[in-house]
Chain A
Amino acid sequence: MADYKNEFGVFGDRPKVEKKLFDRNKVIAGLVIFIVLITIPLWKNLGKTVAAPTPSLDTPVINKLVAKDKKCIMPTEWMRANHMQMLIDWRENVVRDEERKVTTSRGREFVAPDGKKYLASLTNTCMECHSNKAQFCDQCHNYASVVPNCWGCHQETGKKLAEAK
């Protein structure tokens, strides 16, 4: 008997159990099926590339702008990175009168770096030019899988747009 000893006493050998996978074939087959099933989305999309979003600037208002004025209120790169923070700042400034990080001071008029003034309003300023929400906003948001809840309350057509109609 191959006894072994530790500080609690002397013990007999551990029972010898055969190291064997029971129902080996069934278990492995089951595992394979399971793995294939949960990775189906990966296989289905293997090799496919999802086209990067190409926000369209083709709207009546933007097309009407002269080349010199054809720019957003802030530089494109900056807007791409910070538009959400800027909208939050606008919101806080307009509704809550609080001073915030990106923009300063208070009220509802936004002064761009070039000195031009804009009304701080999503519907009336942003959507006036970018009236193509599906091509401009939703495309990127879907691609990045972000779901902003602006549109539950804010309307897609601005005041000036509606007046023109």
Chain B
Amino acid sequence: MGMDRREFIRIAGLSTLLGLGGKGAFELLAPGRVDAEIIPEKNALQAKRWAMVVNQKKLDDATAAKCIAACHQVHNVPDYVNPPNEKLKLDPEVAHRYQIKWIWTDHFHNVFPGGVQANLPEEVEHMNFLTLCNHCNNPPCVRVCPTKATFQREDGIVMMDMHRCIGCRFCMAGCPFGARSFNWRDPRPYIKNLYPGYPTREIGVVEKCLFCAERLAQGMMPACVEVSNGALIFGDLYDEKSQVREYLRKFFTIRRKPYLGTNPQVYYIV
């Protein structure tokens, strides 16, 4: 049985194509019809590098409380310290340890330990700082996550995929800012008003602030920024005209633990 030259070259060529690119190579030559697709929403907010400025001069305790309440409401963050009913009341010490915090306030000495800047005005040392995940440029939590449940998006947001979290808590050990909380128990009963637009979490996963990635995708500013009366500024660090850059140009800002090299992207005007 013979094979002519043309037949041989044809078969050799096709098998090389299969060997090099597998099935995909053939689909490249004859692209199949795409039945359905997912496209980004038109009004989604996009940036090269999201960053936040916290204007501590403008932020009073009431505004901070409002920011915390707004965030914890739209993200279904449970409240173990003040549970919705008496039956769920926990031992205060346990409740304190179980606390889930996306955004919270803390005293200067806890937020800037080791003296970020020597001899700051005394009023600064008495401030309550609004703290949240710093969405570091060099996030240690991402490096230690064994399942890539925590990962960094192209726009800088340190994102969490709860579906992948196995609850090993390496990220909590890795984060130098205490921005991550572990769900020691089922959080659902401890959520006062279940917000239907966002999922809750399960027992055994770690959670934190995500710079409201789900709201940005729908064209909305983060929940805390919306209710902060201008005390929180959020925007694109790579856009010279953005409000964040404007504030960074105008004011002297400090960041939390810059000496650790995580390059946090939440700036504080003091």
Contacts and interface: CB of A to CB of B under 8 A. Distances in A.
Q: Do A and B come from one complex?
A: yes
Interface of A: 73-74, 89-91, 93-97, 102-113, 120, 123-124, 149, 152-155, 157-159, 161-163
Contacts, number: 78
A25 B163 CA distance: 58
Nearest to B44: A107
B264 to A, nearest CB: 23
Contacts of A112: 36
B39 A107 contact: yes
Listed residue (B35, B37, B153, B218) with the most chain A CB atoms within 10 angstroms of its CB = B37
Nearest to A157: B196
List the 3 shortest-distance A-B pairs measured between CB atoms, nearest first: A107-B40, A162-B196, A152-B202
Contact of A161 (B38, B40, B196, B218): B196
23 contacts: A74-B35, A74-B36, A96-B151, A102-B36, A103-B37, A104-B37, A106-B39, A106-B40, A107-B41, A107-B44, A108-B38, A108-B41, A108-B44, A109-B39, A110-B37, A111-B37, A111-B38, A123-B199, A149-B202, A153-B162, A154-B199, A157-B196, A163-B196
Given A105-B39, A109-B38, 5 more contacts: A91-B163, A93-B38, A96-B161, A153-B199, A163-B196
A107 B163 contact: no
Interface of B: 34-41, 44, 151, 153-154, 159, 161-163, 194, 196-197, 199-202, 217-218
Contacts of B194: 155
Contacts of B197: 124, 159
A74 to B, nearest CB: 7
A55 B161 CA distance: 31
Contacts of A91: 163
A113 B40 contact: no
Nearest to B161: A95
B201 A153 contact: yes
B38 A123 contact: no
A109 B217 CA distance: 10
Contact of A109 (B41, B153, B161, B200): B41
Nearest to A159: B197
A155 B199 contact: yes
A110 B163 contact: no
Nearest to B218: A108
Contact of B38 (A103, A149, A158): A103
Given A97-B153, A104-B34, A111 B39 contact: yes
Contacts of A105: 37-39
B196 A155 contact: yes
A157 B34 CA distance: 31
A74 B201 CA distance: 29
A150 to B, nearest CB: 9
A108 B217 contact: yes
Contacts of B162: 153
A158 to B, nearest CB: 6
